[in-house]
Structure 1
Amino acid sequence: MSEFRSETLDNGLQVVAEVDNRGYSAALGYFVRAGARDENDAQSGLSHFLEHMMFKGTATRSAADVNRELDELGGQSNAYTSEEQTVYYAAVLPKYQQRMVDLLSDMMRPRLDENEFDTERGVILEEIAKYEDQPPFGAFERVMECAYGPRGLGRRVLGTTESISNMHVDTMRDYFSARYRPANMVLAASGNVDFDALVKQAGEATANWNDLPMPSAFDRDNADELPAGVELNARLDIPDATQAYRVTLAGGPSMASNDRYAMRLLSSIIGDDGGSRLFWDLIDTGRAEIATLWPQEFSDTGAMFTYLVCTPDAMDSNIRLMNEAIDLVIRDGVKQEELDQVINKTVAGVIMASERPSQRLFGLGSHWLCCRKYLSTDDLLDAYRRVDVSAIEAAARTYLCSEPTEVIAAASDEPSLTP
């Protein structure tokens, strides 16, 4: 059986772990409350930019040393940035726990060299350009900006070409000093972990972390002006697009809401990418290439996304079919056998994912960082199994009845598309 352990170090860093000594591996990661919604206009894209810089060397390791040691330890390692957090993680054999804690902790105090900064700026700009050239051509970012505004949750994780081009290394250093403080971070671990040793190792590795100088308060944005490089047009004109792309966003349950379990199951019934109502109505019939619906949960709110990809001439009819499928659930609910099927599928997925410490790590660390709560695999399974038809109907009435924000990306020479 797994055991949850937690301890707060003297410097404020929280260490949490789901220990299961039956496992053959251990997963470790630093979860930092530093995401796109924490940035101002001058910092737009900085959380993600800083994620890249964490691999560019420390006071004791060069960039080559960091990457060589990650390879030597033989596990899986990576990082990612979202609207609310930046995460650095690795999965290794238990015997390498101390070495990985030492390496990850050292990476959390990067050199932030100006030359490396300038080099990596070019990498970020290429990443932005590549992303904007790929379908759905920034439609997800645009719908977030239109729904939430261009700041806060609506701010782009990658930033804009303008914000990255104009960014200065001192801006990054100040942001790092403000956000990468021990009290703003969680060290999470799962699998075959020696928790007592982990606490001791983390305490030694992070003992001086509060020595960072606290920068002055950051400038407030001018709410009357759009950030550089941001537009709020709900239509994206893509000259060479052969298909049309529609993204919508409506309100959904937050990471702390009990409605999230019913909404996840309902989303699978309506819009999973295989075997859902939208799949059989639109994908299996050849009307659309993609037709999905899913929730995304944040610490204090949530979003319900739909995504439709089809030929431009089929867009209007497919939108009507999607709306009809959603309206049918609101009006008539779902059948018990539908719910039983999706619960079985979801429960099986949770159980299989729980066998991998790296999969458990993300839920553990993210939930603790945002909500300061632990949710075991058994708790999660019970939460799904408790969902009944009435809970599904209530979730549908609560979250599927509002008019969503819509963005369409299509060739500019096509006629205007309307639902």
Structure 2
Amino acid sequence: MNPTHLQTARMDTGMEFKEARLDNGLTVIAEVNPAARSVAMGYFVKTGSRDERPEESGVSHFLEHMLFKGTPTRDALEINLEFDHLGAQNNAFTSEENTVYHGAVLPEFGPRLLELLTDMMRPALRQEDFDTEKQVILEEIALYADRPQFMAYDWARERYFRGHGLGNSVLGTVESIEALTREQMADYHARRYSPSNMVLALAGKLDWEATLEQVREITRGWRPAAVQREYAPFEPRPGEFRQPYAQATQSYLWHFAPGFAAQDERRYAAGVLANVLGADGNSRLHWALVDSGLVESASAGHEDNDGAGLFYAFAQTDPANEQAVAEVVRREMERLEREGVQADEVERAKNKIATGIVFAGETPMNRLFNLGLSYVYTGRYETLGEMARKYEALTVADVNALLEAKPFSRGFLYRLVPENGDGR
């Protein structure tokens, strides 16, 4: 047994998983660790840009901002000061599929943080706050427009998913945000922030029974409502698109290929395969592109979404090297499909991933994200130790089996290039 396995085998010792579903539909889960020195918690809302109607584009992210602007009992300053008084490490984020509000404090401040986060889930959405924050969102969109790497990712997803919700922009557009009304946002909140579409997750040192009783009391006024996510069919088609962009001074290449959903156990083997292809520092793309001096940066990974997944590869390069880089990426992917992966590559990738999982288990805050997101996608609890052991159990045959369908040959290559670039 290697040292990494010893660590992962012991990493969940002393943890106890708790789960309850309240009458209003809210699911509450906790990974209780009496030895922890902090407690982390977060509301995981199963909603993001994929769930937006066309006229609501960007509302999920905009609404995330508005939850910090005030509730019927607190204004934005009071929310801010209370987080500070608690000494909380807190934040929020919005993705294509989830909106998450989270914080971590010393255990004695846990009940106060829980009350604050819960109050925020039912925002006031005051018109004056809405108008002010709309300008902030528009400034953020303008800021990202000057970041070609971000725009390349956004536009590559849009073209790859071709109308599927997973291709929707998280930020939205200037036009959609300018047209959005406070009433549309309130309607979206009422539809998507139903208790049955939310998971409250906690990790660390806490009193489970007292916490559960507190949650029941402070969410007593939440009304149950049915929420559904649309699972539109998606069939990836191979292709390529090259787009000039005035703000670009480098060439940005994204390659997307069909992968595996968050509910598919093959996602573990997909993670290893992606690591072999494009892990930082030691991978096929690193040696073929970065070490050779063709690119400034290159990477690859696997993204498992709700009901769908994809492999991705990214490279940023001088425009003069654009075509050469595209050919190298194709060559390395074709070689993977033709020759498969080697035993030593798989072993290195597994060890790297297992080490990352060990590091992720060191604090309640890190454990919180695995706990909450995993539960949102699968509806069950999977410890970090169990996850690590699944990676460790993978064989070369398991990884090579994914290549039989030749996923990279069915991929889509997107290039964002300078308007006057010479990388054709």
Same fold (TM over 0.5): yes
Does 1:312 pair with 2:325?
no
C-alpha distance in 2 between matches for 1:295 and 1:7: 32
For the 8 Å contact 1:16–1:188, the answer to whether it is kept is: yes
C-alpha distance in 1 between matches for 2:68 and 2:304: 28
Does 1:262 pair with 2:275?
no
Inter-CA distance 116–211: structure 2 relative to 1 (3 Å threshold)? farther
C-alpha distance in 2 between matches for 1:80 and 1:366: 13
Please show how residues 113-192 of structure 1 align to structure 2 within 5 Å.
113-192=126-205
The gaps in structure 2 that reach 5 residues or longer are 1-13, 231-238
| Counterpart residue number, 1:224 | none
Does 1:406 pair with 2:413?
yes
CA root-mean-square deviation: 2.0
Aligned equivalent of 1:340, options 338, 347, 355: 347
The gaps in structure 1 that reach 5 residues or longer are 221-231
| Counterpart residue number, 1:396 | 403
For the 8 Å contact 1:142–1:234, the answer to whether it is kept is: no
For the 8 Å contact 2:146–2:247, the answer to whether it is kept is: no
Q: Which residue identity is paired with 1:74?
A: G
- Superposed displacement of residue 233, structure 1: 10
C-alpha distance in 1 between matches for 2:170 and 2:248: 24
| Counterpart residue number, 1:9 | 22
For the 8 Å contact 2:64–2:93, the answer to whether it is kept is: yes
For the 8 Å contact 1:251–1:399, the answer to whether it is kept is: no
Inter-CA distance 127–112: structure 2 relative to 1 (3 Å threshold)? same
Does 1:85 pair with 2:98?
yes
Please show how residues 233-252 of structure 1 align to structure 2 within 5 Å.
234-252=241-259
For the 8 Å contact 1:114–1:169, the answer to whether it is kept is: yes
- Superposed displacement of residue 238, structure 1: 2.0
Q: Secondary structure at the match of 1:250?
A: strand
Q: Which residue identity is paired with 2:324?
A: S
C-alpha distance in 1 between matches for 2:421 and 2:148: 17
C-alpha distance in 1 between matches for 2:164 and 2:306: 16
| Counterpart residue number, 2:360 | 353
For the 8 Å contact 1:28–1:361, the answer to whether it is kept is: yes
Inter-CA distance 306–142: structure 2 relative to 1 (3 Å threshold)? same
Q: Which residue identity is paired with 1:337?
A: D
- Superposed displacement of residue 342, structure 1: 1.6
Q: Which residue identity is paired with 1:87?
A: V
For the 8 Å contact 2:49–2:96, the answer to whether it is kept is: yes
- Superposed displacement of residue 193, structure 1: 2.2
For the 8 Å contact 2:147–2:247, the answer to whether it is kept is: no
For the 8 Å contact 1:16–1:189, the answer to whether it is kept is: yes
Q: Which residue identity is paired with 2:65?
A: H
Deviations 1:313-349 (A, max 9, x none): 2111122222222222222222212211221121111
- Superposed displacement of residue 191, structure 1: 1.4
C-alpha distance in 1 between matches for 2:144 and 2:163: 18
Aligned equivalent of 2:38, options 8, 12, 25: 25
C-alpha distance in 1 between matches for 2:396 and 2:331: 20
| Counterpart residue number, 2:6 | none
Q: TM-score, normalised to structure 1's length?
A: 0.92
Please show how residues 90-109 of structure 1 align to structure 2 within 5 Å.
90-109=103-122
C-alpha distance in 2 between matches for 1:34 and 1:3: 28
C-alpha distance in 1 between matches for 2:119 and 2:27: 17
Q: Which residue identity is paired with 1:47?
A: S
| Counterpart residue number, 2:388 | 381
- Superposed displacement of residue 211, structure 1: 7.7
C-alpha distance in 2 between matches for 1:176 and 1:59: 15
Inter-CA distance 259–205: structure 2 relative to 1 (3 Å threshold)? same
Deviations 1:140-163 (A, max 9, x none): 111111121245111111111100
Q: Secondary structure at the match of 2:148?
A: coil
| Counterpart residue number, 2:87 | 74
Deviations 1:207-247 (A, max 9, x none): 001189x99x9xx9xxxxxxxxxxx9933322353311111
Inter-CA distance 211–346: structure 2 relative to 1 (3 Å threshold)? closer
Does 1:363 pair with 2:370?
yes
For the 8 Å contact 1:252–1:399, the answer to whether it is kept is: no
- Superposed displacement of residue 135, structure 1: 2.5
| Counterpart residue number, 2:67 | 54
Inter-CA distance 306–176: structure 2 relative to 1 (3 Å threshold)? same
Deviations 1:122-147 (A, max 9, x none): 00011111111113251111111112
- Superposed displacement of residue 367, structure 1: 1.7
Q: Secondary structure at the match of 1:402?
A: helix
Large movers: runs of 4+ above 6 Å = none
Deviations 1:285-314 (A, max 9, x none): 211111211111111000111111111121
C-alpha distance in 1 between matches for 2:409 and 2:215: 47
Does 1:302 pair with 2:309?
yes
For the 8 Å contact 2:58–2:172, the answer to whether it is kept is: yes
Q: Secondary structure at the match of 1:51?
A: helix
Inter-CA distance 370–277: structure 2 relative to 1 (3 Å threshold)? same
- Superposed displacement of residue 414, structure 1: 2.5
Q: Secondary structure at the match of 1:248?
A: strand
